[in-house]
Amino acid sequence: MALMIGVSGIRGLIGDTLTPQVVLDFAQAYGTILDGGRVVLGRDTRPSGEMFASAAAAGLAAAGCEVTHVDVAMTPTIGHAIRAGAYDGGVIITASHNPQPWNGLKFLDDRGVAPNPARAKRIEDTWRKKAWRCTDSFREQQRDSDAGRRHVEAVRGAIEVDLSPIRGTRVVLDSVNGAGCLEMPGMLRALGCEVVHMNGEPTGEFAHTPEPLAENLTDLCAAVRRHDAAIGFAQDPDADRLVIVDETGAFIGEEYTLALSVQAVLSRRPGAIATNLSTSRLVDAIAERYQCEVIRTAVGEANVATGMLEHDCVIGGEGNGGVIDPRISWVRDSLSAISLVLQLMCATGKRVSELVADLPRYAMIKQKVACASREAIDAATRKTAEAFAGERVSTIDGTRIDFADGWVHIRASNTEPIVRIMGEAEDRAVAEELIGRVRKASGL
Ligand code: MG
Protein backbone atom coordinates (compact mmCIF):
# COMPACT_ATOMS: atom_id res chain seq x y z
CA MET A 1 0.00 0.00 0.00
CA ALA A 2 1.50 3.31 -1.13
CA LEU A 3 1.73 6.38 1.09
CA MET A 4 -1.67 8.06 0.83
CA ILE A 5 -1.35 11.78 0.19
CA GLY A 6 -4.48 13.90 -0.04
CA VAL A 7 -6.42 16.84 1.31
CA SER A 8 -6.91 15.02 4.59
CA GLY A 9 -3.13 14.79 5.09
CA ILE A 10 -0.88 11.79 4.67
CA ARG A 11 -1.38 8.26 5.93
CA GLY A 12 0.86 5.24 5.66
CA LEU A 13 1.67 1.87 7.16
CA ILE A 14 4.03 2.33 10.10
CA GLY A 15 7.58 1.24 9.27
CA ASP A 16 6.64 0.60 5.67
CA THR A 17 5.42 3.67 3.79
CA LEU A 18 5.31 5.82 6.93
CA THR A 19 8.71 6.21 8.56
CA PRO A 20 10.15 8.88 10.88
CA GLN A 21 12.04 10.23 7.85
CA VAL A 22 8.82 10.70 5.85
CA VAL A 23 7.17 12.46 8.80
CA LEU A 24 10.20 14.67 9.37
CA ASP A 25 10.38 15.65 5.70
CA PHE A 26 6.66 16.45 5.45
CA ALA A 27 6.79 18.50 8.66
CA GLN A 28 9.84 20.38 7.36
CA ALA A 29 8.00 21.03 4.07
CA TYR A 30 4.96 22.35 5.95
CA GLY A 31 7.15 24.44 8.28
CA THR A 32 8.73 25.98 5.18
CA ILE A 33 5.28 26.93 3.83
CA LEU A 34 4.45 28.43 7.25
CA ASP A 35 7.64 30.47 6.93
CA GLY A 36 8.92 29.45 10.33
CA GLY A 37 5.83 30.47 12.29
CA ARG A 38 4.45 29.26 15.64
CA VAL A 39 3.05 25.75 15.26
CA VAL A 40 0.97 23.56 17.61
CA LEU A 41 1.86 19.87 17.52
CA GLY A 42 -0.44 17.14 18.85
CA ARG A 43 -1.04 13.42 18.39
CA ASP A 44 -3.66 10.78 18.96
CA THR A 45 -2.98 7.84 21.29
CA ARG A 46 -1.32 5.44 18.82
CA PRO A 47 1.81 3.93 20.40
CA SER A 48 3.90 5.20 17.45
CA GLY A 49 2.66 8.76 18.03
CA GLU A 50 5.40 9.94 20.36
CA MET A 51 8.13 8.76 18.00
CA PHE A 52 6.48 10.44 15.00
CA ALA A 53 5.83 13.62 17.01
CA SER A 54 9.58 13.83 17.74
CA ALA A 55 10.27 13.50 14.02
CA ALA A 56 7.67 16.15 13.15
CA ALA A 57 9.04 18.51 15.81
CA ALA A 58 12.54 18.12 14.33
CA GLY A 59 11.25 18.89 10.82
CA LEU A 60 9.28 21.93 11.96
CA ALA A 61 12.22 23.22 14.02
CA ALA A 62 14.56 22.72 11.06
CA ALA A 63 12.27 24.99 9.02
CA GLY A 64 12.57 27.61 11.76
CA CYS A 65 9.19 27.06 13.43
CA GLU A 66 8.53 27.53 17.13
CA VAL A 67 6.91 24.25 18.15
CA THR A 68 4.37 24.04 20.98
CA HIS A 69 3.85 20.43 22.11
CA VAL A 70 0.32 19.58 23.19
CA ASP A 71 1.11 15.83 23.26
CA VAL A 72 -1.97 13.58 23.15
CA ALA A 73 -4.97 15.61 22.05
CA MET A 74 -8.09 15.35 19.95
CA THR A 75 -7.82 16.86 16.48
CA PRO A 76 -10.52 19.44 17.35
CA THR A 77 -8.50 20.45 20.43
CA ILE A 78 -5.63 21.40 18.13
CA GLY A 79 -8.07 23.27 15.87
CA HIS A 80 -9.33 25.21 18.87
CA ALA A 81 -5.81 25.84 20.24
CA ILE A 82 -4.65 27.38 16.96
CA ARG A 83 -7.53 29.82 16.83
CA ALA A 84 -7.46 30.70 20.52
CA GLY A 85 -3.68 31.09 20.62
CA ALA A 86 -3.26 32.90 17.28
CA TYR A 87 -0.79 30.27 16.05
CA ASP A 88 0.38 30.10 12.45
CA GLY A 89 -0.61 26.48 12.00
CA GLY A 90 -0.86 23.02 13.46
CA VAL A 91 0.22 19.44 12.84
CA ILE A 92 -1.54 16.37 14.26
CA ILE A 93 -0.02 12.88 14.24
CA THR A 94 -2.99 10.65 13.47
CA ALA A 95 -4.35 8.23 10.90
CA SER A 96 -7.89 9.14 12.02
CA HIS A 97 -10.13 6.06 11.73
CA ASN A 98 -7.55 3.82 10.02
CA PRO A 99 -6.61 0.65 11.93
CA GLN A 100 -3.63 0.37 14.23
CA PRO A 101 -0.88 -0.44 11.70
CA TRP A 102 -1.42 3.05 10.28
CA ASN A 103 -0.39 6.53 11.29
CA GLY A 104 -0.17 9.84 9.49
CA LEU A 105 -0.22 13.61 9.59
CA LYS A 106 -2.98 16.19 9.44
CA PHE A 107 -2.15 19.83 8.77
CA LEU A 108 -4.09 22.92 9.84
CA ASP A 109 -3.54 26.55 8.82
CA ASP A 110 -3.51 29.73 10.94
CA ARG A 111 -7.32 29.66 11.23
CA GLY A 112 -7.27 25.98 12.16
CA VAL A 113 -8.67 25.02 8.74
CA ALA A 114 -7.48 21.89 6.94
CA PRO A 115 -5.62 22.56 3.66
CA ASN A 116 -7.70 23.11 0.54
CA PRO A 117 -6.62 21.13 -2.57
CA ALA A 118 -4.25 23.91 -3.75
CA ARG A 119 -2.49 24.12 -0.39
CA ALA A 120 -2.38 20.34 -0.03
CA LYS A 121 -0.68 20.21 -3.43
CA ARG A 122 1.81 22.87 -2.34
CA ILE A 123 2.75 20.81 0.72
CA GLU A 124 3.15 17.71 -1.45
CA ASP A 125 5.20 19.57 -4.11
CA THR A 126 7.51 21.07 -1.48
CA TRP A 127 8.03 17.55 -0.10
CA ARG A 128 8.58 15.93 -3.51
CA LYS A 129 11.10 18.59 -4.61
CA LYS A 130 12.73 18.64 -1.16
CA ALA A 131 12.29 22.39 -1.44
CA TRP A 132 12.29 22.88 2.31
CA ARG A 133 14.50 25.26 4.16
CA CYS A 134 16.84 24.44 7.00
CA THR A 135 17.54 27.26 9.39
CA ASP A 136 20.55 27.62 11.65
CA SER A 137 18.68 29.62 14.28
CA PHE A 138 16.47 27.56 16.48
CA ARG A 139 13.60 28.60 18.69
CA GLU A 140 12.96 27.10 22.08
CA GLN A 141 10.20 24.50 22.04
CA GLN A 142 7.12 25.17 24.17
CA ARG A 143 4.69 22.90 25.97
CA ASP A 144 0.96 23.42 26.49
CA SER A 145 -0.68 20.92 28.82
CA ASP A 146 -3.92 22.86 29.12
CA ALA A 147 -5.29 22.89 25.57
CA GLY A 148 -7.81 20.09 26.21
CA ARG A 149 -9.27 21.85 29.23
CA ARG A 150 -9.59 25.13 27.29
CA HIS A 151 -11.35 23.31 24.45
CA VAL A 152 -13.86 21.83 26.91
CA GLU A 153 -14.37 25.27 28.48
CA ALA A 154 -15.11 26.73 25.06
CA VAL A 155 -17.66 24.01 24.28
CA ARG A 156 -19.31 24.42 27.69
CA GLY A 157 -19.29 28.21 27.29
CA ALA A 158 -21.23 27.83 24.03
CA ILE A 159 -24.13 25.95 25.69
CA GLU A 160 -27.40 27.81 25.20
CA VAL A 161 -29.89 25.47 26.87
CA ASP A 162 -30.60 24.61 30.50
CA LEU A 163 -29.10 21.14 30.82
CA SER A 164 -30.63 20.32 34.20
CA PRO A 165 -33.05 17.79 32.62
CA ILE A 166 -30.13 15.48 31.82
CA ARG A 167 -28.67 15.59 35.32
CA GLY A 168 -28.11 12.01 36.42
CA THR A 169 -28.79 10.64 32.94
CA ARG A 170 -26.69 7.61 32.10
CA VAL A 171 -24.65 7.77 28.88
CA VAL A 172 -22.29 5.19 27.41
CA LEU A 173 -19.19 6.53 25.68
CA ASP A 174 -16.88 4.42 23.48
CA SER A 175 -13.61 6.30 22.92
CA VAL A 176 -11.94 3.27 21.25
CA ASN A 177 -8.89 3.95 23.50
CA GLY A 178 -8.21 7.01 21.35
CA ALA A 179 -7.69 10.70 22.06
CA GLY A 180 -11.33 11.15 23.07
CA CYS A 181 -10.52 9.32 26.33
CA LEU A 182 -8.94 12.41 27.81
CA GLU A 183 -11.50 15.17 27.96
CA MET A 184 -14.80 13.66 26.93
CA PRO A 185 -15.82 11.72 30.06
CA GLY A 186 -14.93 14.70 32.26
CA MET A 187 -17.00 17.03 30.13
CA LEU A 188 -20.00 14.69 30.25
CA ARG A 189 -19.73 14.41 34.04
CA ALA A 190 -19.41 18.18 34.36
CA LEU A 191 -22.65 18.47 32.39
CA GLY A 192 -24.31 16.22 34.97
CA CYS A 193 -24.30 12.87 33.16
CA GLU A 194 -23.44 9.53 34.68
CA VAL A 195 -20.81 8.12 32.33
CA VAL A 196 -20.15 4.48 31.48
CA HIS A 197 -16.82 4.76 29.65
CA MET A 198 -15.92 1.90 27.31
CA ASN A 199 -12.47 1.58 25.79
CA GLY A 200 -11.47 4.56 27.88
CA GLU A 201 -7.72 3.99 28.30
CA PRO A 202 -5.62 6.26 26.07
CA THR A 203 -3.39 3.40 24.96
CA GLY A 204 -4.01 3.51 21.22
CA GLU A 205 -4.69 -0.23 21.40
CA PHE A 206 -7.99 -0.14 19.54
CA ALA A 207 -10.52 -2.48 21.08
CA HIS A 208 -12.38 -2.81 17.79
CA THR A 209 -11.97 -1.68 14.18
CA PRO A 210 -11.84 2.05 14.86
CA GLU A 211 -14.05 3.48 12.13
CA PRO A 212 -17.34 4.39 13.84
CA LEU A 213 -19.66 2.26 11.70
CA ALA A 214 -22.56 0.06 12.81
CA GLU A 215 -20.65 -3.21 12.34
CA ASN A 216 -17.86 -2.02 14.69
CA LEU A 217 -20.16 -0.81 17.46
CA THR A 218 -22.15 -3.88 18.48
CA ASP A 219 -20.57 -3.82 21.98
CA LEU A 220 -21.61 -0.18 22.43
CA CYS A 221 -25.20 -0.97 21.38
CA ALA A 222 -25.30 -3.89 23.85
CA ALA A 223 -23.83 -1.72 26.63
CA VAL A 224 -26.50 0.97 26.12
CA ARG A 225 -29.18 -1.70 26.60
CA ARG A 226 -27.41 -3.38 29.53
CA HIS A 227 -26.89 -0.11 31.41
CA ASP A 228 -30.33 1.22 30.49
CA ALA A 229 -28.63 4.37 29.18
CA ALA A 230 -30.35 7.30 27.47
CA ILE A 231 -27.78 7.50 24.68
CA GLY A 232 -24.52 5.99 23.45
CA PHE A 233 -21.69 7.85 21.74
CA ALA A 234 -18.73 6.54 19.73
CA GLN A 235 -15.71 8.57 18.70
CA ASP A 236 -13.01 7.75 16.17
CA PRO A 237 -9.36 7.69 17.38
CA ASP A 238 -8.72 11.42 16.86
CA ALA A 239 -12.22 12.32 18.10
CA ASP A 240 -13.33 14.49 15.23
CA ARG A 241 -16.14 12.12 14.26
CA LEU A 242 -19.03 11.05 16.47
CA VAL A 243 -21.86 8.58 16.01
CA ILE A 244 -24.90 7.95 18.17
CA VAL A 245 -26.79 4.94 19.55
CA ASP A 246 -30.36 5.59 20.77
CA GLU A 247 -31.86 4.56 24.12
CA THR A 248 -33.01 1.22 22.70
CA GLY A 249 -29.43 0.35 21.74
CA ALA A 250 -30.01 0.96 18.02
CA PHE A 251 -27.27 2.58 15.93
CA ILE A 252 -29.15 5.49 14.34
CA GLY A 253 -26.74 5.98 11.44
CA GLU A 254 -23.82 8.38 11.07
CA GLU A 255 -25.87 10.87 9.02
CA TYR A 256 -27.96 11.71 12.10
CA THR A 257 -25.07 13.25 14.07
CA LEU A 258 -24.99 16.26 11.76
CA ALA A 259 -28.77 16.25 11.28
CA LEU A 260 -29.50 16.42 15.03
CA SER A 261 -26.78 19.06 15.51
CA VAL A 262 -28.28 21.15 12.70
CA GLN A 263 -31.71 20.77 14.29
CA ALA A 264 -30.28 21.88 17.66
CA VAL A 265 -28.71 25.03 16.21
CA LEU A 266 -31.35 26.13 13.67
CA SER A 267 -34.19 25.77 16.20
CA ARG A 268 -32.51 28.53 18.21
CA ARG A 269 -30.40 30.49 15.74
CA PRO A 270 -31.58 30.13 12.13
CA GLY A 271 -28.85 30.76 9.56
CA ALA A 272 -27.03 29.23 6.63
CA ILE A 273 -25.48 25.77 6.97
CA ALA A 274 -22.77 24.09 4.89
CA THR A 275 -22.20 20.45 4.13
CA ASN A 276 -20.66 18.35 1.38
CA LEU A 277 -22.40 16.95 -1.70
CA SER A 278 -22.35 13.38 -0.33
CA THR A 279 -24.35 14.23 2.80
CA SER A 280 -27.99 13.20 3.30
CA ARG A 281 -30.98 15.34 2.35
CA LEU A 282 -31.92 15.20 6.04
CA VAL A 283 -30.15 18.53 6.52
CA ASP A 284 -32.12 20.08 3.65
CA ALA A 285 -35.38 18.91 5.23
CA ILE A 286 -34.40 20.53 8.54
CA ALA A 287 -33.15 23.73 6.91
CA GLU A 288 -36.45 23.99 5.03
CA ARG A 289 -38.35 23.98 8.35
CA TYR A 290 -36.48 27.10 9.39
CA GLN A 291 -36.21 28.58 5.87
CA CYS A 292 -32.43 28.42 5.98
CA GLU A 293 -29.99 28.09 3.12
CA VAL A 294 -27.89 24.92 2.59
CA ILE A 295 -24.47 25.46 1.01
CA ARG A 296 -23.24 22.27 -0.71
CA THR A 297 -19.47 22.00 -1.08
CA ALA A 298 -16.99 19.50 -2.50
CA VAL A 299 -16.18 16.57 -0.20
CA GLY A 300 -13.42 17.29 2.34
CA GLU A 301 -13.43 19.10 5.65
CA ALA A 302 -11.52 22.10 4.26
CA ASN A 303 -14.15 22.66 1.59
CA VAL A 304 -16.96 22.59 4.14
CA ALA A 305 -15.07 24.93 6.50
CA THR A 306 -14.36 27.33 3.62
CA GLY A 307 -18.05 27.27 2.64
CA MET A 308 -18.94 28.06 6.25
CA LEU A 309 -16.50 30.98 6.37
CA GLU A 310 -17.72 32.41 3.04
CA HIS A 311 -21.41 32.19 3.91
CA ASP A 312 -21.20 33.02 7.61
CA CYS A 313 -22.79 29.67 8.48
CA VAL A 314 -24.13 28.91 11.95
CA ILE A 315 -23.27 25.19 11.71
CA GLY A 316 -21.80 22.75 9.21
CA GLY A 317 -20.13 19.42 8.75
CA GLU A 318 -20.16 16.10 6.98
CA GLY A 319 -22.58 13.18 6.98
CA ASN A 320 -19.91 10.79 8.30
CA GLY A 321 -20.45 12.08 11.84
CA GLY A 322 -18.41 15.28 11.53
CA VAL A 323 -19.92 18.42 13.04
CA ILE A 324 -18.22 21.84 12.81
CA ASP A 325 -19.42 24.49 15.28
CA PRO A 326 -17.90 27.77 14.05
CA ARG A 327 -17.98 29.21 17.55
CA ILE A 328 -15.39 26.62 18.65
CA SER A 329 -13.15 25.78 15.69
CA TRP A 330 -13.11 25.04 11.95
CA VAL A 331 -12.60 21.31 12.33
CA ARG A 332 -15.08 18.52 12.99
CA ASP A 333 -15.51 18.18 16.72
CA SER A 334 -17.10 15.31 18.64
CA LEU A 335 -17.28 17.44 21.81
CA SER A 336 -19.33 20.10 20.06
CA ALA A 337 -21.57 17.42 18.54
CA ILE A 338 -22.24 15.79 21.92
CA SER A 339 -23.02 19.14 23.48
CA LEU A 340 -25.47 20.05 20.69
CA VAL A 341 -27.29 16.70 20.81
CA LEU A 342 -27.66 16.83 24.61
CA GLN A 343 -28.97 20.39 24.30
CA LEU A 344 -31.55 19.23 21.75
CA MET A 345 -32.68 16.45 24.09
CA CYS A 346 -33.08 18.94 26.95
CA ALA A 347 -34.77 21.64 24.86
CA THR A 348 -37.36 19.21 23.47
CA GLY A 349 -37.67 16.75 26.35
CA LYS A 350 -37.45 13.97 23.76
CA ARG A 351 -35.51 10.73 23.69
CA VAL A 352 -33.06 10.08 20.87
CA SER A 353 -35.42 7.66 19.09
CA GLU A 354 -38.15 10.33 19.19
CA LEU A 355 -35.82 12.99 17.78
CA VAL A 356 -34.93 10.59 14.95
CA ALA A 357 -38.62 9.79 14.36
CA ASP A 358 -39.29 13.53 13.94
CA LEU A 359 -36.99 13.56 10.90
CA PRO A 360 -37.65 12.09 7.46
CA ARG A 361 -36.32 8.58 6.83
CA TYR A 362 -34.09 8.17 3.81
CA ALA A 363 -32.33 5.15 2.43
CA MET A 364 -28.73 5.82 1.42
CA ILE A 365 -26.74 3.44 -0.76
CA LYS A 366 -22.95 3.66 -1.09
CA GLN A 367 -21.06 1.85 -3.82
CA LYS A 368 -17.42 1.73 -4.93
CA VAL A 369 -16.26 0.93 -8.46
CA ALA A 370 -12.63 0.36 -9.43
CA CYS A 371 -11.55 2.65 -12.25
CA ALA A 372 -8.41 2.45 -14.35
CA SER A 373 -7.37 6.09 -14.28
CA ARG A 374 -8.31 9.55 -13.11
CA GLU A 375 -8.98 10.47 -16.76
CA ALA A 376 -11.50 7.62 -17.07
CA ILE A 377 -13.23 8.79 -13.90
CA ASP A 378 -13.39 12.38 -15.12
CA ALA A 379 -14.80 11.25 -18.48
CA ALA A 380 -17.48 9.19 -16.71
CA THR A 381 -18.56 12.04 -14.43
CA ARG A 382 -18.63 14.46 -17.41
CA LYS A 383 -20.77 12.06 -19.42
CA THR A 384 -23.18 11.79 -16.49
CA ALA A 385 -23.54 15.56 -16.18
CA GLU A 386 -24.37 15.79 -19.91
CA ALA A 387 -26.87 12.93 -19.81
CA PHE A 388 -28.87 14.56 -17.00
CA ALA A 389 -28.58 18.18 -18.13
CA GLY A 390 -32.37 18.56 -17.66
CA GLU A 391 -32.11 17.85 -13.89
CA ARG A 392 -30.48 19.90 -11.12
CA VAL A 393 -26.78 19.10 -11.63
CA SER A 394 -23.69 20.10 -9.63
CA THR A 395 -20.21 19.47 -11.05
CA ILE A 396 -18.06 21.04 -8.36
CA ASP A 397 -16.89 17.58 -7.19
CA GLY A 398 -17.63 14.81 -9.68
CA THR A 399 -21.30 14.98 -10.62
CA ARG A 400 -24.31 15.18 -8.32
CA ILE A 401 -27.78 14.97 -9.79
CA ASP A 402 -30.76 15.99 -7.70
CA PHE A 403 -33.93 14.33 -8.94
CA ALA A 404 -37.38 15.10 -7.52
CA ASP A 405 -37.38 11.90 -5.44
CA GLY A 406 -33.70 11.45 -4.62
CA TRP A 407 -30.12 12.21 -5.60
CA VAL A 408 -27.00 10.45 -6.86
CA HIS A 409 -23.40 11.63 -6.47
CA ILE A 410 -20.48 10.08 -8.33
CA ARG A 411 -16.95 11.24 -7.66
CA ALA A 412 -13.36 10.10 -7.66
CA SER A 413 -12.02 9.05 -4.26
CA ASN A 414 -9.32 11.39 -2.90
CA THR A 415 -7.26 8.47 -1.69
CA GLU A 416 -7.91 5.36 -3.81
CA PRO A 417 -8.23 4.63 -7.57
CA ILE A 418 -11.98 4.15 -7.24
CA VAL A 419 -15.21 5.95 -8.01
CA ARG A 420 -17.59 6.48 -5.13
CA ILE A 421 -21.26 6.33 -6.01
CA MET A 422 -23.83 7.43 -3.47
CA GLY A 423 -27.57 7.62 -3.83
CA GLU A 424 -30.41 8.49 -1.52
CA ALA A 425 -34.20 8.43 -1.69
CA GLU A 426 -37.10 7.90 0.70
CA ASP A 427 -37.45 4.42 -0.71
CA ARG A 428 -34.52 2.03 -1.08
CA ALA A 429 -35.80 0.67 -4.39
CA VAL A 430 -35.98 4.22 -5.78
CA ALA A 431 -32.41 4.94 -4.65
CA GLU A 432 -31.27 1.74 -6.38
CA GLU A 433 -33.12 2.64 -9.54
CA LEU A 434 -31.64 6.17 -9.62
CA ILE A 435 -28.13 4.78 -9.10
CA GLY A 436 -28.77 2.29 -11.91
CA ARG A 437 -29.79 5.07 -14.30
CA VAL A 438 -26.75 7.16 -13.44
CA ARG A 439 -24.33 4.24 -13.72
CA LYS A 440 -25.75 3.33 -17.12
CA ALA A 441 -25.34 6.91 -18.37
CA SER A 442 -21.80 7.16 -16.97
CA GLY A 443 -20.65 3.87 -18.47
CA LEU A 444 -19.46 2.67 -15.03
MG1 MG B 1 -10.95 11.29 12.49
Rg of the chain, C-alpha, whole Å: 21
Greater confidence, 373 or 88?
Answer: 88
pLDDT at position 349 is: 98
Q: What is the mean pLDDT of residues 209-226?
A: 96
In a domain? residue 170: yes
Is the domain of 183 the same as that of 330? yes
CA separation, residue 161 to residues 157, 261, 347, 349 (Å): 11, 13, 7, 12
State the Cα–Cα distance between residues 334 and 378, nearest whole angstrom.
34
Is the domain of 185 the same as that of 333? yes
State the Cα–Cα distance between residues 31 and 63, nearest whole angstrom.
5
Alpha-carbon 322 to chain mean position: 4
Count of the separate structural domains present in the chain: 3
Is the domain of 119 the same as that of 22? yes
Distance (angstroms) between ligand 1 centre and the Cα of 49 equals 15
Is the domain of 172 the same as that of 303? yes
Distance (angstroms) between ligand 1 centre and the Cα of 415 equals 15
Is the domain of 315 the same as that of 215? yes
Is the domain of 98 the same as that of 123? yes
Is the domain of 325 the same as that of 384? no
Stated pTM of the model: 0.96
Q: Quote the domain boundaries for residue 398.
A: 363-442
The one catalytic residue among 96, 175, 329, 336: 96
Model pLDDT for residues 141-177, shown as the tens digit of each residue: 999 999 999 999 999 999 999 999 999 999 999 999 9
In a domain? residue 152: no
pLDDT at position 374 is: 82
Q: Please, what is the average pLDDT of the chain?
A: 96
Q: Taking Cα atoms as reference points, which of 356, 264, 376 lies closest to residue 317?
A: 264
Distance (angstroms) between ligand 1 centre and the Cα of 87 equals 22
State the Cα–Cα distance between residues 405 and 333, nearest whole angstrom.
32
CATH of the domain at 414: 3.30.310.50
Q: What is the mean pLDDT of residues 50-66?
A: 98
pLDDT at position 373 is: 82
Is the domain of 219 the same as that of 198? yes
* Catalytic-residue membership of 413: no
pLDDT at position 415 is: 64
Is the domain of 81 the same as that of 48? yes
Distance (angstroms) between ligand 1 centre and the Cα of 139 equals 31
In a domain? residue 409: yes
Q: What is the mean pLDDT of residues 108-118?
A: 93
Distance (angstroms) between ligand 1 centre and the Cα of 317 equals 13
Confidence of residue 249 (pLDDT cuts 50, 70, 90): very high
Model pLDDT for residues 283-337, shown as the tens digit of each residue: 999 999 999 999 999 999 999 999 999 999 999 999 999 999 999 999 999 999 9
Distance (angstroms) between ligand 1 centre and the Cα of 112 equals 15
Listed residues 114, 146, 178: the one ending a domain = 146
Distance (angstroms) between ligand 1 centre and the Cα of 337 equals 14
